[in-house]
Amino acid sequence: MFNVVYNEEIQLISIEKREASAYCMSIKQEFDGKPWYYDIKHYITYREYPLGASKNSKCTIRKLVMSFFMNGEVLYKRNYDMSLLRCVDASEAKRILGEVHEGICRTHANGHMMATQVLHACYYWLTMESDCIKLQKNVTNAIYMQIKYVLQFPLYMC
């Protein structure tokens, strides 16, 4: 328990809405032609922040960099068990998802299990789990539509 002093003023919490967001864990596409890890890789290599980076963005980059590792030109992320996960861009991530879901692995598993299998294959990108879940939902919807189309025709018994 703690003691409350009633004659002191309580500081109010102020919440502001910013126009430009800081680094967030969502990438839809690489609109500038650079991979999502470009700023992290640039900071590790040259110890320079991106041009026009705010104080909050600089702090975020410093925190993110602590869990990344450069080996030559390849960027790796340290996992919680100290294994190194290779960072990939959006196009390579789509290829990896296709390979895990339909290729050699042929798991056809749910989204969380696919994300785990990608981690076991030592690959990493920021939106890995949400991308796996979206892919699994799209595949499930496509299979449902195929079954619905097949069931429209009557079955004839000979």
Whether pTM > 0.85 for this model: the answer is: no
Is residue 69 within 8 Å of residue 75, measured between CB atoms?
yes
Give the residue among 134, 73, 131, 112 at the shortest CA–CA distance from 120.
112
pLDDT at 25 (0 to 100): 44
Rounded to whole angstroms, how far apart are CA atoms 55 and 99?
Answer: 40
Express as a percent the part of the chain with pLDDT over 70. 68
Rounded to whole angstroms, how far apart are CA atoms 22 and 83?
Answer: 28
> Residue written as tokens 């700023």?
39
- The residue extents of the domains of the chain are 88-149
82 pLDDT higher than 90: no
Express as a percent the part of the chain with pLDDT over 90. 29
